[in-house]
Structure 1
């Protein structure tokens, strides 16, 4: 018989999230007595592309580098308390992630742990570059013929639910839709029908509210003096208490910082939603226009009213391609007349680059004067120099180019300012990164074959 309530906790909202933040969540899940799951969402589009590059360099790499740091503090308690873990840690190498998690569990004394690997998202070998270009939504990037680094479809929750049905203690996926991490456990626990669109929509909404971790409990929401959030240094990560009919309470562990209120939940509800009446996922088309939020107590928000429509005929896929190089270099100027010396440094570098690589776009920012809202080397930057008397400035130069030599030239010109530029420049840092660009494609479902493998 299925339970009346299932609890799902969020342990991470992105690959660089805080290690150890899931400890309070796991303690609360264990104390609840309800069937419980812990999800880690760690896979942005860029993260997956970088993971593919890592695996090309080293066959055993390609899974989330933060996986062990995030899981190790809570793994033993999860396994002893029956809290099952679901995560897209696998990135470009779910099998490698599963093997590493099995080794970690064995080191902690759990040699019989069942780990399921969800695959089928990697489209390598299934569709050619021409096939992908023909399916690109904007038709702007893939037709140029750049080398494809990765092509991954967004899987839904079905293989996650199947893995849990088969007894997995930990489910490791590659690219799945973020809400699927929560929907899969809910379908498994409650036995929902995949065509019960209202419940599938409700579970998808829960996953959407949890997918960014502590954003919904006050993290990204905070704006001092306007949206004050208490004790962010000990921010509590969210928990969803979900009923069989899909109604849910969003909360956080008692005694932790942050807040869960109508404002934080509304912000996350609208996060990355293009059409509130038609949020497309692999499992359902979610309509949030009728969603009702009620403050049900301190740090408790009741969520209901999700509407579901039949799932789309196609799946989204993200294709990442090589996109040249990004060069960045910085130098500091401090003390009397610092602004004038910084302005001279900008002029020198821009003039020399115009001679050596005509047409190469150069961006120059003076951090603290004109950077985020600046117009590079234009009028706004000039006005900032004239208006500000700061004596502590950091100048950043950057360019993007398909030509590695041109990008490296900018780095050399900035470094030369040590002796060939204005007085007092110091603290130069320089960095060259290969750039990736991503395109979205719509892939017919018959081209995607989901797989579930349970180890051992």
Structure 2
């Protein structure tokens, strides 16, 4: 009896700063058909737009070149296709850079750059934001507007025969939905299958999270060999049934618990998980441990895709000044509190009591806890605040640094910084007003 077709997709990255070697291991030893590198977040693409404004040849993922230097020879040898949103704010420049790297290494490669998510020119400023209910023009200067495209923007690029498909902002699960739709001939009309594909894409999008990375706590949830954590692959059948696994001799675990945690990750309404491809229902998903480090995912469903797409807006939100200083030894907490009060009083007029004062090691993560406990032996004071100019923001670090000799006693290890802050808001935009296309680059 002829074995039914299965597609194996590897998750090589779960965010922009992810490790490089798990993708290499998947490509070399995972026997995968597709390698997905998911590297974008809302703030990531806004920062990429800033880099593009400063240099029109930039704006793609900072690790794109290093990843491609490693992966290009392997995917060429093993006939693996890469799908990635590492194009960020500049997929065209990313594709061009990939072909330059390939040419330098005498590798013939075909790259498709998917564009159309940048909708900044369509923004009027009167759009109402999802988070605040306020119009966009009530925020700072808008520097980016990127719509979440779906699998339909990727499908033509796959059909072109490209070895690598580079996108800007697409919905994370769509990087997995698209190759499944292409390989199995699934239609958007079959919302059940697209819903299942979206479940699979959601489970794979954060890579090492589903193999236990973010699951581990070292006490109650033990995960072996985290230092060599493997990233997952998924075997998908034409009916949408999937089995998540990982390469042998890599760290981590794949269990019902790790998969359940990832299934619920960033899901506000499991009955209606909206993506550009479908309104997915996660409540009907079935999970089964079928072997060590193998979890079967079945069922899941969906209904028609939404008429509007989410658009992530980046805007200039001012400058954050920070200053830190360490107090250790007897009365560390008392001295840190004294120092924090000194800085607050000296900057009260400029910052009008809006400074954030943290006592790291005491209550910085959980404000309000253990307020009366002053037995800490080491406390790091952190003072931060927002300003409209970098010069004003810098005063915070300067005041913290001045504590060295102006008291209280025993402070050390000062750090200070000023960071331009990119704020994020979201709006909805009719999908009919957004046009996507792709361009081919070859080495």
TM-score range, shorter chain: over 0.9
Paired residue total: 441
Match of 1:339 among 322, 333, 336: 333
Partner of 1:181: 175
Deviations 1:375-394 (A, max 9, x none): 5xxxx57523x3x141x322
- Give the 3 Å change call, closer, same or farther, for CA 129–105 of structure 1 in structure 2: same
Matched, 1:118 2:104: no
Q: Secondary structure at the match of 1:125?
A: helix
- Taking the aligned partners of 1:445 and 1:343, their CA distance within structure 2 comes to 53
- Indicate conservation of the 8 Å contact 1:417/1:425, yes or no: yes
Matched, 1:18 2:13: no
1:277-288 equivalent positions in 2, closer than 5 A:
277-288=271-282
Deviations 1:9-48 (A, max 9, x none): 0000000101112122112333x6xxx1000000000000
Deviation of 1:353 after TM superposition, in Å, equals: 1.3
Partner of 2:410: 424
- Indicate conservation of the 8 Å contact 2:324/2:382, yes or no: yes
> After the TM superposition, which of the residue ranges 134-143 and 267-276 deviates more from structure 2?
134-143
- Taking the aligned partners of 1:122 and 1:5, their CA distance within structure 2 comes to 34
Q: Secondary structure at the match of 1:312?
A: coil
- Indicate conservation of the 8 Å contact 1:360/1:399, yes or no: no
Q: Secondary structure at the match of 2:372?
A: helix
- Taking the aligned partners of 1:17 and 1:168, their CA distance within structure 2 comes to 25
Partner of 1:364: 357
Deviations 1:306-354 (A, max 9, x none): 1110111111111111111111111112234333322221121111112
- Indicate conservation of the 8 Å contact 1:141/1:439, yes or no: no
- Indicate conservation of the 8 Å contact 2:131/2:426, yes or no: yes
Match of 2:54 among 54, 57, 62: 57
Taking structure 2 as the reference length, what is the TM-score of the superposition?
Answer: 0.95
Deviations 1:55-87 (A, max 9, x none): 111111110101223333222111111100000
Matched, 1:208 2:202: yes
Partner of 1:373: 366
Partner of 1:72: 69
Deviation of 1:206 after TM superposition, in Å, equals: 1.1
- Taking the aligned partners of 1:206 and 1:339, their CA distance within structure 2 comes to 48
- Indicate conservation of the 8 Å contact 2:256/2:288, yes or no: yes
Q: Secondary structure at the match of 2:322?
A: strand
Q: Secondary structure at the match of 2:121?
A: coil
- Taking the aligned partners of 2:322 and 2:425, their CA distance within structure 1 comes to 24
Q: RMSD over aligned Cα, in angstroms?
A: 1.8
Q: Secondary structure at the match of 1:433?
A: strand
Deviations 1:191-244 (A, max 9, x none): 111211111111111111100011001000001121111111111100010001
- Taking the aligned partners of 2:255 and 2:279, their CA distance within structure 1 comes to 26
Partner of 1:446: 432
Q: Secondary structure at the match of 2:248?
A: coil
Q: Secondary structure at the match of 2:382?
A: strand
- Indicate conservation of the 8 Å contact 1:18/1:70, yes or no: no
Segments of 4+ moved more than 6 angstroms: none
Partner of 2:285: 291
- Taking the aligned partners of 1:134 and 1:270, their CA distance within structure 2 comes to 28
